[in-house]
């Protein structure tokens, strides 16, 4: 679900590369048909429309087997500041869409789900900003709250209907596939790295550092940046884990290292000059979010292999090559 979007498309590429058969359902609201791997089957549909979901399951159902081994969910709205002004839309898409997906899975006897959740469920974590999976979830924006509600729904449904889940809490995802065939498209850009690179490429006059009075070493927010290809590979491991172990899992996906906005800009400056100024804090931004990624490492054998420089250089190369400016 949502396999034509930024993260979904990268996960589909890795699933196909690992030899899996993939069907993508997407309403193309933020994704693009061009982002779907040519070896994956594409079906247009909206996760908020039960009939759309049923049609995909019916169309893919074979007489001798359940239609799908695993459903992977990427079909979320995910922009923190947008969620602050559109909470109803965020709950409708991110919770009601998941409810309908789970109901359809139960109807068609599909018992494994890999779910994209987010570090935003942690809110402002107590302590030093390092999040482990049992850090109490306390979201401070509607985006994080809607994803936590969906996580909880998945847990209840898994108990009631004998379903296994792999919930991944993503930290700050960036970069593009090494093929440069897919990446983060130019519309809907709000995230730090692509915004900074757009400013560097002269497509914005400047970019703004949103707050430099946070309780962090240089006053700017600290985040854990993870390359989209590393993240996508974790989904292959997660899906295979569900099929092999028949047990559920909750795991952070982050590099385990925090970078401030200032540090990210310094890294970007190694590739391109980024004109920037300083402005007010953005509502809903926690000061620091960094992952403990021990669970993903030990249970799945997952290991991030690409660093912040790789994220910046691949995003820049994708923007230049695809004119996703
Ligand atoms: N920032 C700026 N200027 C900008 C854009 C962002 O200074 O133009 C700052 C933000 O204030 C924040 C940091 O850069 O401190 C990162 O912001 P992003 O918008 O890139 O990402 P968020 O941390 O807000 O959110 C992202 C995902 C969420 C996920 C979260 C987890 O969008 O889905 O990371 O850390 F939950």
Q: For 145-180, what is each residue's pLDDT tens digit?
A: 999 999 999 999 999 999 999 999 999 999 999 999
CA 192 – CA 206 distance, rounded (Å)? 12
> How many CA atoms are closer than 13 Å to the CA of 325, on its beta-carbon side?
9
What residue owns the CA closest to ligand 1's atom 21?
191
pLDDT tens across 28-48, in order?
999 999 999 999 999 999 999
Nearest to 169 by CA among 194, 147, 201, 154: 147
Domain that residue 56 falls in: 6-322
Examine the pLDDT at 306 and tell me if it is beyond 90: yes
Q: Report the SS3 class of residue 259.
A: strand
Ligand 1 geometric centre to CA of 248 (Å): 29
What residue owns the CA closest to ligand 1's atom 26?
172
Ligand 1 geometric centre to CA of 209 (Å): 11
Residue 260, in any domain of the structure = yes
pLDDT computed for residue 197 by the predictor: 95
Spell 270-283 as b/e; 16+ CB within 10 A means b.
Answer: eeeebebeeeeeee
Percent of the chain scored above 70 by pLDDT?
98
Spell 10-25 as b/e; 16+ CB within 10 A means b.
Answer: bbbbbbbeeebebbbb
Least confident residue range of 4-8, 179-183, 247-251, 319-323: 319-323
Calculate the average pLDDT of the chain. Answer: 94
Confidence bin at 324 (pLDDT 50/70/90): low
Residue 188 Cβ contacting ligand 1 at under 6 Å: no
Residue 175 contacts residue 232 (beta carbons within 8 Å): no
Residue 2 contacts residue 45 (beta carbons within 8 Å): no
Residue 94, in any domain of the structure = yes
The domain that holds 183 is classified in CATH as 3.40.50.720
Residue 29, in any domain of the structure = yes
Residue 164, in any domain of the structure = yes
CA distances (Å), 195 to each of 79, 135, 145, in order?
14, 30, 25
Phi and psi dihedrals of 258, rounded to 5? -100, 145
**Owner of token pair 């679900």:** 1
Residue 87, in any domain of the structure = yes
DSSP state of 145: H
Name, in order, each residue with C-beta under 8 angstroms of 34's C-beta and a sequence gap of 6 or more.
Answer: none
Residue 1, in any domain of the structure = no
pLDDT computed for residue 65 by the predictor: 67
**Owner of token pair 């193309």:** 28
Examine the pLDDT at 142 and tell me if it is beyond 90: yes
Helix (H) or strand (E) holding 83: helix 80-85
Nearest to 307 by CA among 276, 263, 272: 263
Strands (E) located in 214-302: 222-223, 225-227, 249-253, 259-260, 276-279, 290-291
Residue 87 contacts residue 140 (beta carbons within 8 Å): no
Nearest to 248 by CA among 155, 169, 170: 155
Residue 135 contacts residue 124 (beta carbons within 8 Å): no
pLDDT tens across 265-280, in order?
999 999 999 999 999 9
Number of domains in the chain: 1
Phi and psi dihedrals of 202, rounded to 5? 80, 15
Ligand 1 geometric centre to CA of 206 (Å): 17
Residue 53, in any domain of the structure = yes
Q: Which pairing describes strands 249-253 and 164-170: parallel, antiparallel, or unpaired? A: parallel
Examine the pLDDT at 184 and tell me if it is beyond 60: yes
The arithmetic mean of pLDDT across residues 225-232, rounded, is 98
Q: Over the Cα atoms of the chain, what is R_g?
A: 19
> Which of the residues are catalytic?
143
Q: How far is CA 197 from the centre of its chain?
A: 20
Residue to mutate (ligand 1; options 81, 191, 256, 258; most atoms within 8 A of CB): 191
Residue 122 Cβ contacting ligand 1 at under 6 Å: no
Nearest to 114 by CA among 68, 161, 49, 177: 68
CA 90 – CA 95 distance, rounded (Å)? 8
Task: Give the CA angle between residues 215, 219, 221 to the nearest 5°.
Answer: 80
Using CA atoms in the order 54, 44, 318, 269, what is the torsion angle rounded to 10 degrees?
A: -60
Residue 23 Cβ contacting ligand 1 at under 6 Å: no
Examine the pLDDT at 127 and tell me if it is beyond 90: no
Examine the pLDDT at 63 and tell me if it is beyond 80: no
Ligand 1 geometric centre to CA of 38 (Å): 31
Residue 157, in any domain of the structure = yes
């Amino acid at each position: 679900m949502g396999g034509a979007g930024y993260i979904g498309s990268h996960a589909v590429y890795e699933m196909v590369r690992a030899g899996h058969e993939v069907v993508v359902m997407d309403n193309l609201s933020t994704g693009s048909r061009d982002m779907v791997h040519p070896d994956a089957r594409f079906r247009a549909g909206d996760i908020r429309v039960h009939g759309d979901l049923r049609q995909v399951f019916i169309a893919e159902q074979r007489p001798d087997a359940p239609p799908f081994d695993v459903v992977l969910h990427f079909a979320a709205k995910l922009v923190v500041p947008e969620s602050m002004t559109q909470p109803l839309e965020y709950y409708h898409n991110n919770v009601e869409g998941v409810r309908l997906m789970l109901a359809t899975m139960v109807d068609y006897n599909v018992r494994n789900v890999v779910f994209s959740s987010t570090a935003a469920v942690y809110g402002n974590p107590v302590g030093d900003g390092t999040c482990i999976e049992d850090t109490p979830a306390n979201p401070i924006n509607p985006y994080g709250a809607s994803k936590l509600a969906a996580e909880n729904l998945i847990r209840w449904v898994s108990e009631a209907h004998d379903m296994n889940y792999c919930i991944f809490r993503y930290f700050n995802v960036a970069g593009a596939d090494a093929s440069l065939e897919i990446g983060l498209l130019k519309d809907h850009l709000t995230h730090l790295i692509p915004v900074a690179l757009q400013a560097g490429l002269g497509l914005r006059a400047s970019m703004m550092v949103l707050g430099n009075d946070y309780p962090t070493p240089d006053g700017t927010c600290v985040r854990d940046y993870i390359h989209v290809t590393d993240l996508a590979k974790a989904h292959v491991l997660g899906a295979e884990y569900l099929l092999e172990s028949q047990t559920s899992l909750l795991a952070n996906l982050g590099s385990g290292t925090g970078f401030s906005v200032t540090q990210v800009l310094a890294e970007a400056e190694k590739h391109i000059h980024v004109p920037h100024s300083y402005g007010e804090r953005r509502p809903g931004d926690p000061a620091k979010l960094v992952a403990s990624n021990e669970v993903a490492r030990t249970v799945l054998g997952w290991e991030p292999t690409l660093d912040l420089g790789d994220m910046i250089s691949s995003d820049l190369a994708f923007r230049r090559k695809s004119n996703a400016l």
